[in-house]
Amino acid sequence: MDLSLSTRNVSGPGGDRTVVEVGGEIDVYTAPKLREQLVELVNDGSYHLVVDMEGVDFLDSTGLGVLVGGLKRVRAHEGSLRLVCNQERILKIFRITGLTKVFPIHTTVDEAVAATD
Amino acid sequence: MPTVELRFSAQPEHVRTARLVAAAVARRAGVDEAVLDEVRLAVGEACSRAVGLHRSHDITAPVTVVLIEEEKAFSIEVGDAVPGPGDNTSLPGRFRGAGGGPETDADSEDEMGLAVISGLVDDVEVRSATDGGVIRMSWPTTPAVVAP
């Protein structure tokens, strides 16, 4: 299954958030598309991103690298990158790489959009 | 010792194929269903890493994946054709040492891949020889049931 991407803007208590809904497999082949999308959003001035990973079937270290790259970019603009994920097999990859300490991970998009810390 | 061997040109789009084949053979070999996700991820990491190494070293030889069904274990060997010093030094080290340059994005992706593999797989061995490197990973299997 290929990667699917869609974005929408949502207003939260902390201001506008851009929700990036990701579906399918994020691997060495598809990760560049996600990278392009995140770079484009930041270049267009969207510095507060919520990446919804509920539709993701597979994530590898290339995908992690893209998310870390996205985080670096938004932080350069004092922005934020929050993840939405409840899938144990995806969460496990964040845990074994220590990235649960780097990314705020939420259980719902609403919760991620509402977060202001 | 039934074996399935796969060779693919170093293109990112083929890594998914390798994952699917490895998971199918692992399931047949009796690897626990709960562990198949780990097999899929680990073999994907090893193949992505090999593809990256071949591309960065302009190597046209294929990446090899050998799936070995043993009596009580299932092993996967992912081989690259990037020459190492042959003294079994750790793989990321051999490249940084050889190039002498600063750490690049490719290096850190390489290390992230290896970090995921070592976090996932208890039984993993990384070898480097003058004719290429091999990552060997093994999982225990449960006695085979009658295949449908």
Q: pLDDT by residue (tens digit) across B7-54?
A: 999 999 999 999 999 999 999 999 999 899 999 999 999 999 999 999
A31 to chain B: closest CA residue: B12
Q: Considering the entire predicted model, what is its pTM?
A: 0.86
Q: Apex CA A68: angle with CA A63 and CA A73, to 5°?
A: 125
What is the CATH code for A4-114?
3.30.750.24
* Cβ atoms of A74 and A44 closer than 8 Å: no
Domain assignments of chain A as residue spans, ordered by start: 4-114
Give the list of residues 6+ apart from residue A117 with CB closer than 8 angstroms, or none. Answer: none
Domain assignments of chain B as residue spans, ordered by start: 3-140
Contact B116 A60 (CB under 8 A): yes
β partners of residue B139: B74
B32/B28 Cα distance (integer angstroms): 10
Contact B116 A29 (CB under 8 A): no
A20/A34 Cα distance (integer angstroms): 10
Q: What is the pLDDT of residues B78-123, one digit of tens each?
A: 999 999 876 555 544 444 334 444 555 666 667 788 889 998 999 9
A51/B52 Cα distance (integer angstroms): 26
Length of chain B: 148
Strand order in the sheet with B3-8: B3-8, B63-69, B73-79, B132-140, B123-129
* Check whether domain B3-140 has CATH 3.40.1260.10, yes or no: no
A69 to chain B: closest CA residue: B105
B115 C-beta neighbours (distance < 10 Å), count = 17
